[in-house]
Amino acid sequence: MSPLCKLMWMRHEKADIFKQAARFVGIKEYVLFRLFGEWLVDYSIASATGMFNLEQLDWDEGALALLQVDARQLPKPVPTTHQLQGLDAAVAEQLGLRTDTPFVIGANDGVLSNLGVNAIHPGQVAVTIGTSGAMRTVVERPVTDASGRTFCYALTERHWVVGGPVNNGGNVFRWVRDELATAEAEQARKDGVDPYDALTRIAEHIAPGAEGLLFHPYLSGERAPLWNADLRGSFFGLALHHRKEHMIRAALEGVIFNLYSILPAVEDLIGPTKRMMATGGFARSALWRQMMADIFNREVVVPQSVESSCLGAAVLGLLALGKIKSLDVISDMVGSTNRHLPIPQNVAIYDRLRPIFMAIPHKLADEYRALSAFQRLDIK
């Protein structure tokens, strides 16, 4: 991720290695070279490097000049539907494939996930929460944010994915399980119950908003839209009437509030959004899905396919090979398992709490920075 920054670091800190390097490539490009003998990179991966001109679909001259890297040291950018020819005969024999087996270069998993959940039209948003999380929507041309809050990655030349990633998703729930609710988690295991299901049931007994308790889930700093490694997690509003159950619920809500904070940046660029397609481990929880519908005040749909990136890759391959005429065929492949509509009274509660949640990271920027510096010194 972000090779622009890594190459700049290498140029200054490992100058000898930097000067000796014949090429700068990622692991996918290296594998493709071993298979086909060509140095190629798809537009999707290239658009995530910080070195790619989204309008010209080629390496950016300004970025290359900054790095003091020649374009010939980088793989050649090609469309995500590009077919690779000439599979190495020895490799083909090892893989048990014919040398004329068609290969398509493909794209990165995030943009393929949007395709795989059928979120490729205006106003449709894909939200994923696994260990971390992301929110993405598709537009017809590259759109970038002057404030640097969002990314813009290529799916095809007419499908560009705009959104933002967060560091803190399911890892927060894991922290709650391991550090805050160890007794409850252990009892659940003894009872043959998934600890996460047990903790979710505990949180269900607490009203939306956790009686005024907010949790900022910045246990791993944060990416979009704040891009601040110094951010730290905290409970805000803790009072004597709050119990562990409130803290569990607040942590789950905090993850969704945090994801919501990307939405204003996205809508500033592309306009209003409506339906949300939800994927990732969190989608197994009815409580978490309903929280998302209420906090975002939008319908939340969980697609039938849990391997959305794999399905997206297959459909992109069909398009590249001329088996289909449009990516729109995905709409006939993606069913739905759950739908959640916003509950008005819950929406009203979250509408009051959301501005408080979103204001705090900005108000405490100096304090986060000082505390982060203290922690680094303390660890040393």
The residues spanned by each domain of the chain are: 3-104, 107-380
In the CATH hierarchy, which fold is given to the domain comprising 107-380?
Answer: Nucleotidyltransferase; domain 5 (3.30.420)
Is the pLDDT assigned to residue 377 strictly greater than 90? no
For the chain, give the mean pLDDT: 95
Q: Given this model, what pLDDT does residue 281 score?
A: 86
Query: What's the pLDDT at 371?
Result: 96
In sequence order, which residues have a C-beta less than 8 Å from that of residue 377 and are 6 or more positions away? none
Strand stretches in 281-367, DSSP E: 300-303, 336-340
What is the mean predicted confidence (pLDDT) over 112-123? Answer: 93
Q: What number is the average pLDDT over the span 138-166?
A: 96
Q: What is the pLDDT of residue 380?
A: 57
Question: What is this structure's pTM?
Answer: 0.92
DSSP label at residue 179: I
- The yes-or-no answer to whether 3-104 and 107-380 have a common fold is yes
Please determine, for residue 27, whether its predicted confidence score (pLDDT) is greater than 90: yes
CATH superfamily, region 3-104: ATPase, nucleotide binding domain (3.30.420.40)
Alpha carbon separation from 297 to 150, 153, 225 (Å, rounded): 21, 27, 20
User: What is the reported pLDDT for 208?
Assistant: 98
Going by pLDDT thresholds of 50, 70 and 90, the confidence category of residue 283 is confident
Mean pLDDT, residues 325-342 taken together: 92
**pLDDT-derived band at 336, boundaries 50, 70, 90:** confident
Query: Tens of pLDDT along 288-322?
Result: 999 999 999 999 999 887 788 999 999 999 999 99
